[in-house]
Amino acid sequence: MSDATLATPPSAVPQMPVPQMAATPSAVTGPGGVVALPPFSLAQVLPWLLFAGLVLVTVMYFVSAEQGATSLFAGNAVHEWVHDGRHLLGFPCH
């Protein structure tokens, strides 16, 4: 092989076409071609935040306090299900 065949000019290298995306409601280009997120209101997000908070508090109750005097369920079933999670999070249970 000669050195001439190894040195291919950049203009001779085939270029891959860049796919063009149409503007959709979820991808709107802003100034400078940056993809901007669609606007949302607090009224749209608030119910989901409240639901997530309620689920988090419920899970934390069962992991941290579902035993003894504050027990909602009789027996040790819930305690055994969340036992390792209790120790992982630093809650004493013995």
pLDDT at 37 over 90: no
Work out the pLDDT band at 55, boundaries 50, 70, 90: very high
Residue at 13 is within a domain: no
Domain that holds residue 52: 41-94
For the residues 57-67, what does the mean pLDDT come to?
Answer: 83
Residue at 59 is within a domain: yes
Domain count across the chain: 1
pLDDT at 29 over 70: no
Looking up tokens 């004493």, which residue turns up?
Answer: 92
pLDDT at 57 over 90: yes
pLDDT at 82: 83
Residue at 86 is within a domain: yes
The model carries a pTM of 0.51
